[in-house]
Amino acid sequence: MGFMRHLVACNRFDPDRFRPLVLDRVRVGLIRVDRLEVLEAFSWLFTIGRHEVSFAQRAPRGADLTEALADISASLAAQGLVPGLRGERFAVGAPGRPGLFELDRGAVPFFGTRSYGVHVNGLVGDEMWVATRSTAKKVAPGKLDNLVAGGIGAGYGPAETVVKEAGEEAGLDPALARQARPAGAIAYRMAVPEGVRDDVLFVFDLELPPSVQPVPVDGECASFARHRLDDVLRIVSGTDDFKFNVNLVLIDLAIRRGQIGPDYADYLALIHGLHGGLIREAG
């Protein structure tokens, strides 16, 4: 079955089915063409053109735009076009830069705004901690996952999110979580029923002492187990047991550790797919 199929699955996206969402001449999102008619009800905020959807010239900006989009997102949720609001806002704009506005996490796929998250590889020598997601999760219930992973909410940076999620999901001490080392970023663009996931994942490696035992805290994960890295790679190659985007993080880890080397037939394609391609469009 191999590794490349995971990159293909996470990058199934037909640009002809979407129209750019533009704010002050900058693309900030992607709207499904078959959803444009819905936005006509909000003509005071959106202008629907032949090639793009733009925020109206007199539309509010900043915090006022955030509140306007909150009202529209609630309306879309009531119509069943947004699966459910999450009560957590994501800033639209790259971490470390001023956000253009904020959007409820549940509405992000509808508007196709780029979201950012963190994934932490919990390493113990030649082994790693693998989480099993709760069966109550809306996305990938019961699938295998990284030790720690989560979206970067408004007001947080990547490193802060690692510490926050490490405590909430796995009960890790903040001092230990701060030892996680940045190891790059992965991007993918994936059409989903509610719109598109246009995601960047900041990857961290965290070496854990053998005596540390992660424990489920907030119910996001049902359990944690330690696996040999070779076994993890076999699971990625031969099954779909891991959550879809976690496969990309683990392929990246295997490349960096030399488990997937230049002799592998798709080596360069994997590297380009993980670190080239969509990363160029992250801005």
Distance of CA 245 to the CA centre of its chain: 8
Region 201-210: what's the mean pLDDT? 98
- Using DSSP bridges, classify how beta strands 46-48 and 53-55 pair: parallel, antiparallel or unpaired: antiparallel
Confidence of residue 6 (pLDDT cuts 50, 70, 90): very high
Taking a C-beta distance cutoff of 8 angstroms, is the pair 4, 16 a contact?
A: no
Q: For residue 276, what pLDDT is reported?
A: 58
Residue pointed to by tokens 């959550």: 243
Q: For residue 97, what pLDDT is reported?
A: 76
pLDDT digits (tens, 9 = 90+) for 17-75: 999 999 999 999 999 999 999 999 999 999 999 999 999 988 999 999 999 999 999 99
Confidence of residue 279 (pLDDT cuts 50, 70, 90): very low
Distance of CA 138 to the CA centre of its chain: 14
Measured between alpha carbons, how far is 17 from 132 in angstroms, rounded to an integer? 34
CA nearest neighbour of 4 among 281, 255, 210 = 255
Stretch among 48-57, 87-96, 214-223, 256-265 having the lowest mean pLDDT: 87-96
Measured between alpha carbons, how far is 42 from 242 in angstroms, rounded to an integer? 39
Q: Is pLDDT at 254 greater than 90 in this prediction?
A: yes
What residue ranges define each of the domains in the chain, with the CATH number in brackets? 4-11+115-281 (3.90.79.10), 15-113 (3.30.750.160)
Q: Is pLDDT at 243 greater than 50 in this prediction?
A: yes
Please tell me the pTM assigned to this model. 0.94
96: left (phi over 0), alpha (psi -120 to 50) or beta: left
Helix and strand counts by DSSP (H, E) for the chain: 9, 13
Confidence of residue 5 (pLDDT cuts 50, 70, 90): very high
